[in-house]
Amino acid sequence: MIRLLFVLVLSSALLIQPSPLRASDAASSTFYPRTLQSENGSTTTLTPEQEPVTVHHRRSWTLSYDGDASSRVAQVRLRLPRQGIDISPTAERQADAWLLRDLPLDRVGVWLLDVQFEGDTGIDRIRFKLAVDEQPFVVSTRPNAGQVALIKAMALPLTEPAPLDPATRHRAKLGQALFFDPRLSASARESCASCHVPSLAFTDGKARSRVGSRNAPSLIGISGNRWFNRDGSKDSLWSQALGPIEHPDELGLDRVSLLQRISQVAAYHADYQTAFGEALDTDWLAALPAASPLGNASERGAWHALKPAQQQAIDHHFANVGKLLATYQAQLIDRPSAFDRHAHALDAESTPNTQHLSADAQRGLMLFIGSRTQCLDCHAGTRMSNGQFHNIGTASPLAENPDSGRRSGIAKVLDDPFNCSADAHSAASDCEHLGSVWRVEVPYLLNGAFLTPGLRNVAQTGPWFHDGSATTLEAVMEHYRSPPASVSGRTEHELSPLALSDEELSQIVAFLESLDADPIDEHWITPPALAR
C-alpha cells in the first residue's frame, strides 16, 4: 500500500511553523501537519477526501483559507519535479473552502502543490509538499528487493585492501612521519595531528579548530573526495595539505623554512631522495631567509627577491611535501562497520535479524533510504556523500561575519597556484570538475553552502556542522526536523522540515551510530619515533 503524508516546505518569503510531533503518534497519519501558514501569515488547511490516499487514485482535496475574504484561488500548480510533471488542477469554490478536483498523485515521489490567492489586499501564496511513499507510517525492518539493492550499493566490501607497492608504502611512511612531526610548525610544538587526532577519528573534538571559524573535519576516507576543505577551496588532497602549513593560525611555517627543516633531518633528506629520485638542493636553500608569497611582509618581500627559477624549485619541493602527506592520509581508509556486515548479509527473502544491527538501527536505516527523509539526496554511495555543496541553514546571513562557504571557495580554488590545472605540479589527468565549476555551480546560490560530509564514523566526529554548533547527533537530527526559519524574507537554505516522531529520530541516530567502523591498521595511526 502506498500512502500519502503531508510535509511542509519552505518557499521564497514563506515562514512555516511545523506542529510538534509526538512519539506516540508514530504510526498515525493524523499527526502530520496539514495546516500551514501562508506567505502573508494566513492559515491554510489542506484535507484529503479520503484516507489513506493510494497511488494511482485521483481524489479531490479541500483547501480552506482564513485570509482576505475577497480572495479567490487564482492559480494551482502541481509538480513532480524529478519526473518533469507540471500540471494545473482546477479549484471550485464551495462554501468556505475550495475543492481541488482529481489531483493525479499517481507516482511515487515528492509532489509540490503551490496555490496562489488573489484578493483586494493583494496576492498570497502557500506551498504543500506531498510525499507519496511506501508505508511511511509503519517502518519495517524488512526491506523489499529494491531496497536491498539500494542498501547493498551503500556498503563497503568486507575484504582487506590490496597491499601497497614498495614505492607507495615508502612515500606513505615518510608522509606519516611528517604528519606527526612538530618541527614542521613555526613553534615546533604543533603538527598536523594537533587538529587531526587519531583517537578522535582524526578530528580535534572542538567546535571550531584553531583556525577560528570552522570545525576540523575527519581525515578518514578523505582521499575519496573531489573537493577539500569545508568550502571546496582545494581540489586535491596534496594541495589541501599545504594550506595549514603556511596558515598563520595553524602551523604558520613558511615554505622555505619548511624545506630547510626537512633537509636538515638526515633521515628525511635520504627518504625524500628515495621517494622522488631527487634531493633537496641544500647548498643554496640553506642560505635563504624565511620566504613565502603568503607570509608576513618580511617573508613576502624575501620571496619576491628570489629569482623565478628559485621560486619554481621551492614550489616544486613544497608540492612534493604535500604529496607525501596526501599519500599517508590516503591510507586512512574507510573500514567496514556493523552496517556493512548487515548489508552484505541481507537477502530480500530472509527473516530480519539483529545479528549486526539492532531493530531500531534497522528501522533508522529504512527511514534513511526512504523518501520521507530524502537523506539519500545528499548522503548516497559507500561514503554516504554526494561530494557536492549544500546550504542547510547552519550559516546565518545575519551573523557578524557570515561564512559564505562555497561561494568564496570557488574563487579560492580557481586562484590556487597548486590546483589541478597547474601543469608544473599536478599530474591530474582530469580537471573537468575545476574547468566546469562556473558552468555547474552558481555562486550566489552557494552562499553559506558547505561540502556534504561522509557519514562513516559520524558518531565519533562531533561536534557537528561546519561550525561545531551541534553537540549531539540528536541535535543534528533536530536541526533537520525543524530547520531554522527565514530571517531575511526569502529562502536561505535547502531544507524542509521532516515529519519525524521522537522515536523515529532516535532510530535514525541508532543507524548513524552503526556506521562506526573497524579500527584503522595500528601502524598507520601510531606516531612514529621522531626522525633524526
Return the higher-pLDDT residue of 420 and 200.
200
Local structure of 270: helix, strand or coil: helix
Return the higher-pLDDT residue of 13 and 152.
152
Torsion sign across C-alpha atoms 249, 254, 259, 262: negative
**Mean pLDDT score of the chain:** 84
CA neighbours closer than 13 Å in the CB half-sphere of residue 508: 24
Q: Which range among 20-29, 58-67, 280-289, 465-474 shows the weakest confidence by mean pLDDT? A: 20-29
Residue 98 grid cell: 475550495
pLDDT confidence of residue 19: 29
Q: Which range among 41-45, 96-100, 140-144 shows the weakest confidence by mean pLDDT? A: 140-144
Return the higher-pLDDT residue of 214 and 51.
214
> What is the share, in percent, of the chain residues with pLDDT greater than 70?
83
- Topology alike, domains 166-330 and 334-405+447-523: yes
Answer CATH for 2-134 from 2.60.40.10, 3.90.380.10, 3.40.50.2300, 2.40.10.120: 2.60.40.10
pLDDT at 507 over 50: yes
pLDDT at 103 over 50: yes
pLDDT at 6 over 60: no
Return the higher-pLDDT residue of 513 and 18.
513
**What residue spans define the domains of the chain?**
2-134, 166-330, 334-405+447-523
Q: How confident is the model at residue 58 (pLDDT cuts 50, 70, 90)?
A: low
CA neighbours closer than 13 Å in the CB half-sphere of residue 367: 27
Q: How confident is the model at residue 27 (pLDDT cuts 50, 70, 90)?
A: very low
The letter for the amino acid at 485 is A
Count other C-beta atoms under 10 Å from residue 525's C-beta.
Answer: 17
Return the higher-pLDDT residue of 141 and 304.
304
Is residue 116 within 8 A of residue 73, CB to CB? The reply is yes
Which of 400, 375, 481, 476 lies closest to 154, judged by CA? 375
- Domain 334-405+447-523, second-level architecture: Orthogonal Bundle (1.10)
Cα gap 116→123, rounded to integer Å: 7
pLDDT confidence of residue 397: 76
Residues 6+ apart with CB under 8 A from 350: none
Is residue 76 within 8 A of residue 91, CB to CB? The reply is yes
Query: What DSSP line would sit under 224-249, residue for residue?
Result: G-SSBSTT--BSSHHHHHHHHHH-TT
Centroid of chain to Cα 353: 31
pLDDT confidence of residue 333: 97
Cα gap 378→387, rounded to integer Å: 8
Return the higher-pLDDT residue of 388 and 348.
388
**Mean pLDDT confidence for 288-313:** 96
Q: How confident is the model at residue 440 (pLDDT cuts 50, 70, 90)?
A: low
Q: How confident is the model at residue 24 (pLDDT cuts 50, 70, 90)?
A: very low
Cα gap 91→414, rounded to integer Å: 51
pLDDT confidence of residue 166: 98
Torsion sign across C-alpha atoms 494, 146, 79, 497: negative
Return the higher-pLDDT residue of 134 and 165.
165
**Mean pLDDT confidence for 381-394:** 94
What's the predicted TM-score (pTM) here?
Answer: 0.76
pLDDT confidence of residue 106: 64
The CATH homologous superfamily for domain 166-330 is: Cytochrome c-like domain (1.10.760.10)
pLDDT at 467 over 90: yes
Torsion angle, alpha carbons of 247, 251, 255, 257, to 10: 140
Residues 6+ apart with CB under 8 A from 434: 235, 413, 414, 419, 420, 421
- Residue 203 is given by DSSP the state B
pLDDT at 116 over 60: yes
The letter for the amino acid at 135 is Q
Q: How confident is the model at residue 16 (pLDDT cuts 50, 70, 90)?
A: very low
Phi and psi torsions of 415, nearest 5°: -90, -5
Local structure of 185: helix, strand or coil: coil
Count other C-beta atoms under 10 Å from residue 284's C-beta.
Answer: 9
Is residue 34 within 8 A of residue 47, CB to CB? The reply is yes
pLDDT at 173 over 50: yes
Query: What are 237-268's pLDDT values in tens digits?
Result: 999 999 999 999 999 999 999 999 999 999 99
Local structure of 204: helix, strand or coil: coil
pLDDT confidence of residue 74: 87
